[in-house]
Structure 1
Amino acid sequence: MLKNIFSRKKTPSNNRLIVDSNAPISADGVLTQAFGIRIYDGSIAPFAKQGESYPAQGSYSFSTDENMQDQITLEFHRSSETIATNESLIGQLRIRGYKLEEARQPLIRVHYELSNNQIVVWATNEKNNGELSVSIVKNGDGANVH
């Protein structure tokens, strides 16, 4: 029994960030909206898709585009549509705390959990399993947060 307790995956507690505390995105155990990030063409690249099971959790890996890039900024949306809009924006997040390296060298894993009508996000460094700093840059109303 003690072996099971110590072998459980650790989940970060200090850097979990609730990006949406009022996310009524489920009905009968199924997601009614997609949750994901805005990509270059303005569409939402879903982490969790409409129609999938709820609650849901998962993760995706990211890296930098430039040498010695000190942060990664991601814009999160939830919607039943595929195009990101001001109404679908739930926040823009900044990830920091990884070692500065050449482009595509830092390996950042962004984790998410959709449950209890909340969307929670945190990030870890895949190279050393360390927690990274995640902060809100822009809230769901589009206002800058410092």
Structure 2
Amino acid sequence: MADQEQCTFCAIVRGDRPGWTVFGDEVAVGFLDARPVFKGHVLLVPRAHVETLTDLPVELVGPFFQRVRAVAGAVERGLAAGGTFVAMNNRISQSVPHLHVHIVPRNRKDGLRGFFWPRTRYQDAAEAESYAARIRAALAPGAEEAAAPPAAC
């Protein structure tokens, strides 16, 4: 219980700390990283406090990664990104001890190289909210089907 009370991400999940939320349900919550690699960088966390992937109950692994998949698609569609970089640390390089998946919008020649992650900031709350709103809209029911390419022959 003490871990949850001290955890920055648990505070965002509870609404006790501000965050630009893009997704939330009974399994997971997604919000913009305050220091994004690229604007629109989302952190997806399990709603329950667990520190690492191996701490996540087996029955939540599939449902959690279904949310990762959905948010990755929404980041691409909502931000017109060419793709996403999806990553997770376990203990080493994990700045907040709460399981979280980074979903970073990517485009060709965007300058990201290897595992060096330069960070940026949003100009202000309005700019951050505009990115969050675009991702939320891409998560809306029917958004994925509307953006789907035609089926291959």
Specify which structure has the higher proportion of strand: 1
Same fold (TM over 0.5): no
**TM-score, normalising length from structure 2?**
0.28
**TM-score, normalising length from structure 1?**
0.29
